[in-house]
Structure 1
Amino acid sequence: MQRSVCGLPEFKHPVSKGNDMAKGSTRTNASTLPRRALGRQLRKLRERAGYTQSAASRVAEISPQSYGRIEDGWQTKVTDLGLNALANAYEATDEERRLLLDLAREIREATASGRGWWRAYADAMVSGFDHYLALEEAANQVTSWQSTVVPGLLQTRDYRQALTWATSPDRSSEDVNRTLDLAQRRQNLLDRPGFKFEALLTEAVLRYNVGSSSVIADQVRHLIEKSEAPGVEVRIVPTAETNPVGLMSRSFVLFSFPPLHASKLQEPPVAFMEGFTGDLYIERDVEVSKYAREADRIRHVALSPSASRDLMLRISKE
């Protein structure tokens, strides 16, 4: 069985072709979004001023590698003194300088608040999954297109357990239970005010006999129940649909974010795909927009939420 980001919290080290996010898994705490924003602002000012990253690193008195990590949004220490020096070199306006310093302050405040609830489950995660959790926690809307498994935020404990044993049969019961506890803790996100989760699923997801017929029946009934909750929408692409939209793109997840608290900057969305040998985080606008368009095309062939509930109800009775 293929592992899925929405199926199992067992991730390999993240790999990306969308940008330079394959450098490590340190961009994982509440400062993820302001770090991304600071990196984008610095890159924009640097390119406008005609500086190379190497020249910029000398201005900030840090290594070229460290400066590159800052622009990529990774966790690297940046001081107000260094930012002021860069603002001077880039001939930034007063407004641009204030924005850089405001973002730096927001990073410090977010970092001081902690790295997230998932730290307590570090022993239950493979390297890289904490980055996914940070994006999920920071998002105000998540769209998940899945063609093989139920999204993790909507899985029952028995369904998740069946997937875990199938992919990791040698794990101890204690390790498996820790993984299941982590999965259930993630699902609290669905109760957060203002959070929206959209699940786009193939009908096949509901018919794969994961664990046993009773496990999948309970899972389908759970989907029906959750689909009636505020902020949760489940839509099914029926097997009878002749337009194979979504099948060629494979499963993916789209994260959308609210404006940053202090600077009010709007962070651009991120797309995610899991691969067998590595995970792909896509941030470039032109590439993320392709996934957004694909999600829109899938919505056009998917059943309405009410018709999807009717189909799930029929399947649960079979």
Structure 2
Amino acid sequence: MLPRRALGQQLRKMRERNDMSQAAAARVAETSPQTYGRLEDGLVTKVTDLVLNALSNAFRATDEERRLLLDLAVEIRTTTASGAGWWRAYSDAIAQGFDHYLALEEAATWVTSWQTTVVPGLLQTREYRRALTWALLPNGSPAEVERQLDLVTERQNSLEREGFRFEALLYESVIRRRVGSSSVISEQIGHLLELSEAPGVEIRVVPFGEANPVGLVANSFVLFSFPPLPTSRLGTPPVAYMEGLTGGLYVERDAEVSRFSREASLIRRVALSPMASRDLMLRALKEFGS
């Protein structure tokens, strides 16, 4: 999906530079404005070298820009030929639109998750997730719940991926809130303690006693950062995600993503160190076990 996003962003930049509307660009590409809009949004859309050359002419592209578009098209075809993402096998368990989140998570090399209510999915135990899932799907069948749990377990393989870094910034309420029984939350905190020593995983807690309300205004969010594309070496801008009751919001515009990046930096300033965060989790573990 990264080459598609990069191609769409490059086309948008060139089109806007020429004060051309999407409708006009769609006429050049001999397609509908809706289909062209999907192309700029980085969504799955058929794209040919003939179309890209026509758009390059219309956008007065330099030779370098034209080569970049064609290189990105090669990367898209290569990625498509390598097969669909692993999550396709769990399509029955994935909420509408969440496959986009899974694709971002799979492509990212660094994920920062600021959470004020629950443990991030990549760090959840199966029983903690089970308690959450039954709360969200009170009328679901046991089979549906198990599929949801299998999906989360499969996602957690990302933590073993070479070069992948996961940064969890947690408000203390995440540690203190009982989800399920005492044994469930105790197991979950123990799992966090274990993961906090794993390579590529950093867990830091913002304590209740912190006077600065940084992060609480922004609520929970996730930041995805990506490596350069392998062939073109084009850098891929980060993406922010916020989950809501009716679905997730993906933020991709540079100015808006920068606000989330700044917020994450401010949260890091007031969060406890990894070692002090471990001490806090150990105290919470003893309290739940008493």
TM-score normalized by the length of structure 2? 0.97
What code does the residue aligned with 2:171 have? T
Q: Which residue of 2 aligns with 1:103?
A: 72
Rounded to whole Å, the distance in 1 between the matches of 2:234 and 2:218 is 30
Q: Which residue of 2 aligns with 1:176?
A: 145
The alignment partner of 1:41 has SS state of helix
Rounded to whole Å, the distance in 2 between the matches of 1:100 and 1:181 is 38
Q: Which residue of 2 aligns with 1:254?
A: 223
Q: Which residue of 1 aligns with 2:47?
A: 78
Alignment of 1:20-99 (within 5 A): 32-99=1-68
Rounded to whole Å, the distance in 1 between the matches of 2:134 and 2:60 is 58
Task: Say which is worse superposed, 40-49 or 225-234, in terms of deviation.
Answer: 40-49
Structure with the larger RCO, 1 or 2 (CA within 8 Å, 6+ apart): 1
Shift of 1:49: 2.9
Task: Say which is worse superposed, 36-45 or 145-154, in terms of deviation.
Answer: 36-45
Residue 121 of structure 2 is aligned to residue 152 of structure 1: yes
Alignment of 1:2-21 (within 5 A): none
Shift of 1:48: 2.4
Residue 148 of structure 2 is aligned to residue 192 of structure 1: no
The alignment partner of 1:235 has SS state of strand
The alignment partner of 1:197 has SS state of strand
What code does the residue aligned with 2:221 have? F
The alignment partner of 1:68 has SS state of helix
Rounded to whole Å, the distance in 2 between the matches of 1:204 and 1:44 is 42
What code does the residue aligned with 1:248 have? V
Alignment of 1:220-259 (within 5 A): 220-259=189-228
Residue 273 of structure 2 is aligned to residue 293 of structure 1: no
How many percent of aligned residue pairs carry the same amino acid?
Answer: 70
Shift of 1:45: 1.7
Task: Say which is worse superposed, 252-261 or 51-60, in terms of deviation.
Answer: 51-60
**Which of the pair is proportionally richer in helix?**
2
Shift of 1:166: 1.2
Give a deviation string over 1:104-147, Cα, whole Å, max 9, x none: 11111111112200111111112111110000000000000001
Q: Which residue of 1 aligns with 2:244?
A: 275
The alignment partner of 2:250 has SS state of strand
Where does structure 1 lack aligned partners over 5 or more consecutive residues?
Answer: 1-31
Give a deviation string over 1:223-259, Cα, whole Å, max 9, x none: 0000100000000011111111111111000000000
Shift of 1:52: 2.2
Q: Which residue of 2 aligns with 1:167?
A: 136
> RMSD of the TM alignment (CA)?
1.0
